[in-house]
Amino acid sequence: MTSAQEDEVTPPPETPPPDAETKLVSARGPAILFWCAVILTGAGTGLAAAALTGLLEGVQHLVWGGDGRDILAVAVHAPPWRHLAALLGAGVLTGAGQWLLTRLSSGNGIDITAAIWFQAGRLPALRTLGSAVLSVIIVGMGTALGREGAPKQAGAVIANAVADRAALSDEQRRLLVACGAGAGMAAAYGVPLGGALFSLEVLRGVLALRFVLPSLVTALVATGVSWAFLPDMPTYVIPVYKGTLSSAAWAALAGPVVGLASVAYVRAIAWADAHKPRGRARLWVPILVLGVLGLASVWFPQLLGNGRDMAELAFNGRIGAGVLGALFLLRALATTACLGSGAPGGLFTPSLAIGAALGGLLGLPWAWLFPGVPAGLFALVGATAMLAATTQGPVSAVVLMMELTGFARAAILPLLLAVTTATLLARAIEPRSIYDARLSDDQVRARHAARDRAMEEHRQ
């Protein structure tokens, strides 16, 4: 994840060689070994995702009360002192935790994207797992970052450890780590197909047929294992919205606007990541930033946590017109500030929540001019387009939203129109996604060149 660690990444002087995963199963013995590694990675990731989810809910229950699953429902009734105390405590833990991790682990921090592309998937295990646990704890306390970063990191570390035990090649390790990270998201949210596509399209950078089966098996095993401990139900419970010509016309116009917003958001994330506190500032900056967030959450409790509750309200058309604009700006500012303070966490769900608020906001004038489109549909389309443009993974974004909401093909036309136009515009302006944000320009060019070579080999 972009915000998983804060140290600079120093890639090797040479760019990675063209992919050689076509040789994954060149002999019967290596084939069996690799597929055993895939299954072990999926099983371990599923267990890790269930454990991290349980930790998150336990922390939310301890800090905020309630059942530990819906932070907004209890935060709206909590006294102001609880908001401030919870976030100040998260700031103290962030500073102390990051300081401790830098001393417990001799390995430099490295995010999953950089590890896959420039280190053949190798990650410092203790530092990465420690950051994952820390991120889950502070997100449960209310930090405005995503919880999916932790199971992604855990899946990547497990895949890397399994690759070590199985003595896999660098090419096999690179693929397995991407599969493990995607399986972490799949298990945490119950989205096996979306998680598998995410691992290939976003993390691995290539939707190649020869990669599909390993990613699917890893995600399926991880999700199946997690279902023994987690409920099998959509993350967002919303009505089934039907696509109409009116909503499709709006989506075609709104898509480019969402694309431009996503460019600004990705660049803000890149700036925040590049300006994280160093030295002693690591101890006090998180306290200051998260303290301000706690104060703001007294009036806007929707800013707390990963944004799932805020997005679900928008998907159900339950956020007032006057609040949508404020939440769009404040949520983007809160997530960027938390990342910039050094707090570890994910960006997937926060991006989705920001897109939901933006979609709802853009739908207001259309609903006034052309009544009939449900307010929640504007938010759903905006969230999907924002997710696609910020991750630059249009296929995985659409599939993920279908699985997260339980939709099959309802409203698919406006969804695809908004996703396509937003992603095309964003990619034309900014080559980075939120997961490339901490990479240098040279690293981004090297990644794109390697991806293009892999795609060319696949076509041949």
Quick: pLDDT tens for 68-109. Answer: 678 999 999 999 999 999 999 999 999 999 999 888 765 555
DSSP assignment string, 208-239 = -HHHHHHHHHHHHHHHHHHTTTS--S-SS---
Write out pLDDT tens, residues 317-340.
Answer: 999 988 999 999 999 999 999 999
Burial 234-243 (b: 16+ CB within 10 A, else e): bbbebeebeb
Residue 61: pLDDT over 90: yes
Q: How far apart are CA 212 and CA 162, in angstroms?
A: 19
Question: Residue 146: beta bridge partners?
Answer: 346
Residue 1: pLDDT over 70: no
Q: What percentage of the chain has pLDDT greater than the value 90?
A: 70
Q: Which domains does the chain have, with CATH numbers?
A: 26-226 (1.10.3080.10), 245-459 (1.10.3080.10)
Q: How far apart are CA 429 and CA 420, in angstroms?
A: 14
Residue 21's pLDDT is 44
Residue 15's pLDDT is 43
Hey, how many other C-beta atoms are within 10 angstroms of the C-beta on 448? 14
Cα distances (Å, whole numbers) of residue 17 to 94, 171, 202: 37, 9, 19
Residue 440's pLDDT is 67
DSSP assignment string, 176-190 = HHHHHHHHHHHHHHT
Quote the mean pLDDT of the chain.
88
Residue 14's pLDDT is 43
DSSP assignment string, 321-372 = HHHHHHHHHHHHHHHHHHHHTT---BSHHHHHHHHHHHHHHHHHHHHHHSTT
